[in-house]
Structure 1
């Protein structure tokens, strides 16, 4: 299942980094750079750390356990002159999973072995710009993928 348009999907596949925004149990927002993988079977985004780095003890993992509401932004500049920003914002719920990271990473072709703990972002809303149209034209829609 793919919740992304063809342009969004191709763009996300071309990008190595994103920024994950979470909210902790204390109500404080946080943003962290993360690597990610697209899971076309579920329409979700997989975030995992390198095996042995202790993803389950990270602040982002604990924030997801506490509130589950997240946003993930992948963006860059296609050109600087003229100014041509492009990107995808994914808003949704995240699931903190304590097992299965290695298998999930292997199934999705991760460049390195993943830690057992990982995060699945289940999109609810997708906003994109600068991909299929003008850099200043926004596409936004609600999506309801199958939970993974």
Structure 2
């Protein structure tokens, strides 16, 4: 399994992440986006209204290196932040049946190669990373 139980539980409660892709000039591009965890394959799918027309889709088609961050502030008093950074290789896939009829048939599918998490388990304040 790609994700731990604590990571899956956290991701199932979140709705928004930030996808960083590599632009044509080598500069990073970062976009907020909704996502779906596909537990059977251990991947992250990112759909959109017109995904095939977006810069992030074209960036991934050209260079699949990505980073995807999902995080939040669980408490301000005491201060507690938690989240995941998922580094990996993404592919720009066409002809996928969308989960909702208003979404396009293109998807960005992320295959994690490294997962870094923080604050997801009791007593976990530091960042923990692992290759997958």
TM-score calculated relative to the size of structure 1: 0.84
- RMSD, matched Cα: 1.4
Q: 1:81 and 2:77 equivalent?
A: yes
**Alpha-carbon distance in structure 1 between the residues aligned to 2:3 and 2:105:** 27
Q: Aligned partners of 1:73, 1:101: CA distance in 2, in Å?
A: 25
The answer for the alignment partner of 1:34 in structure 2 is 33
> C-alpha deviations, 1:109-135, integer Å up to 9, x for none?
x5x642101110000000000011435
Identify which range, 59-68 or 133-142, moves more after superposition. Answer: 133-142
Describe how 1:1-148 pairs up with structure 2 within 5 A: 2-50=1-49, 54-102=50-98, 105=99, 113-134=102-123, 136-143=125-132
Contact kept in structure 2, 1:101 and 1:114, CA below 8 Å: no
Q: Equivalents in 2 of 1:34, 1:95: separation in Å?
A: 16
Q: Deviations over 1:53-85 (max 9, x none)?
A: x21110100110111000000000010111100
User: Relative contact order (C-alpha < 8 Å, sep 6+): which is higher?
Assistant: 1
Aligned residues: 132
Unaligned runs of 5+ in 2: none
Shift in alpha-carbon separation, 1:101–1:32, aligned structure 2, 3 A? farther
Per the TM alignment, residue 32 of structure 1 is displaced from its structure 2 partner at its CA by 0.2
Higher helix share: 1
TM-score, normalised via structure 2 length: 0.94
Q: Which stretches in structure 1 are left out of the alignment for 5+ residues?
A: 144-148
